[in-house]
Each structure stands twice: as structure tokens, then as C-alpha cells.
Amino acid sequence: MRPKVLSYVAFLVFIITTQSLPSANAVAISRLPKVYDVTGKRVLHDAPYYISPVIWAKGTEIKLTDTKDNQKVCPFYVVQDPAEVNRDGLFNFVLTGRKSEMYLLTSHTLSITSRSPNGSCDESSYWQIPDVEAKAPSNFITTGGSFATAVTCFLVMEYPNLTNPKLHTYILQHCPSFCGAGPGGCYNMSLYADNKEVRYLGYSGTAPFVFVFRKPK
């Protein structure tokens, strides 16, 4: 009994000391856990949402596409494509290790999935980045991952709009080492245009893609 209690106390002390390190990240985690949609309501955990830029227009929301350079692809890419008006763009943000959580949290590891029908594509709908440090298109997000693995490990981070601080705007980061082995640190997700119309979500080292959550009607 005694060694068990001691190791529990040691564990608690470990938690307390690691949690109270004066790191900017820890402050951000305690102060900004909540995620709000564009109407100011809290975003639900593991529920379908559209994600789009603040200034929304048809084709600017994020969707899956089954076509790249006029070829059918499987798994799908995650894109902004003005031509893909018929395809669904609803995504569930699923926190790792928090099945019963009611609301989505920022700064917490999660995986992203879609409930859209996938036709003949026999791949799971979890977003992954096969190799974030590789060249395009291997650093683009595709479907085909599994829940809570290094390649499907993301964070939603608050990213306030300074000219309009009331907007609830966010960026997405890919942090492979937070869910398993992989390159350390986090990679900002941005949009990469490989032609004029289609923009791929992935890692390109450019300005992060800033988005809002919209709940479907």
C-alpha cells in the first residue's frame, strides 16, 4: 500500500511542478480553452462544423476533394475550391483522451474527421499529413489517417483579429510529436495554391490560414 501512495504523491508533485512552469504555452492553455463559432456560441466537441475564412463566400469554406490535377485521388485532399460547390465540407474536431467533453478546447490535441460519403474511396476520413517536412504534395493534408496518431495530431489555437477582436478566429497547427513520434514542435497550417483556383491546406511555411467555425443550420 505504502509505495503505491508514495508513487501517487510523486506523480502529483510531478504534475504540479510541470503544470506550474512559467511557460507562455501553459498560460495560453489555462486562459483560452474555449472555442466559439462565428455567432459567439461555444463550439461543440465532436460535432459537424464548417470552417471558413471570416469573409465567407461559396467555395471559400474548407472541403474534401476527390480530384487533383483532373485525376481522381484517394485519399482525398483538404482544399478551398470554388468549383467544388456540391461537395460537403462538414468536419468534426475530436479531442484526444476526452471522449465525454461537451465543448471543443483550444491548445489541446485533436484529430479531425468528416462524415461525408466517400464514394469508392476506401480510406478513413481522418485528416493526416503524411510527412510534414516533405515537399508538396506530401505536406498537404489528406484523409486516410487514424484517430490520435502522430500524423493526425492537430491543435486549434486562438488567433485574434486585432482590428476586430470580437471575431472568434483560429488557426490550425499540426504537432506530430504531441501524439506520438515525429518531428518536434508545431507547424502552422496554411493554404498552398498549386494552381489559380484550388488551394490546398497543409504546411507551406506561409501565413497561417485564419478561420472561423460555422454551425450547420
In the shown chain, the binding pattern of residues 148 to 177 toward ligand NAG, with x for contact by CB under 6 A and - for none, equals -------------x-xx--x----------
Q: How far apart are CA 185 and CA 67, in angstroms?
A: 31
DSSP 130: S
# residues contacting ligand NAG (CB under 6 A): 17
Shortest separation between residue 173's beta carbon and ligand NAG, angstroms: 7
Nearer to ligand NAG, 30 or 206 (CB): 206
Q: What are phi and psi of 19, to 5 degrees?
A: -70, -25
Residue with cell string 486562459: 31
Shortest separation between residue 136's beta carbon and ligand NAG, angstroms: 17
DSSP 87: S
Nearer to ligand NAG, 33 or 48 (CB): 48
Q: Is residue 65 at the binding interface for ligand NAG, with CB under 6 A as the rule? A: no
Cβ neighbors of 9 (< 8 A, separation 6 or more) are none
In the shown chain, the binding pattern of residues 181 to 210 toward ligand NAG, with x for contact by CB under 6 A and - for none, equals -----x-x-------------------x-x
Nearer to ligand NAG, 15 or 136 (CB): 136
- Scan residues 26-55 and list those touching ligand NAG (CB under 6 A): 54-55
Partner residues linked to 77 by β-bridges = 65, 142
Q: How far apart are CA 55 and CA 52, in angstroms?
A: 8
Phi-psi region of 69 (alpha: psi -120 to 50; beta: other; left: phi over 0): left
- E strands, 18-97, in order: 48-52, 63-68, 71-80, 91-95
Task: Candidates 122, 181, 195, 196: give the one binding ligand NAG (CB under 6 A).
Answer: 122
Binding site for ligand NAG (CB under 6 A): 54-55, 114-115, 117-118, 122, 124-125, 161, 163-164, 167, 186, 188, 208, 210
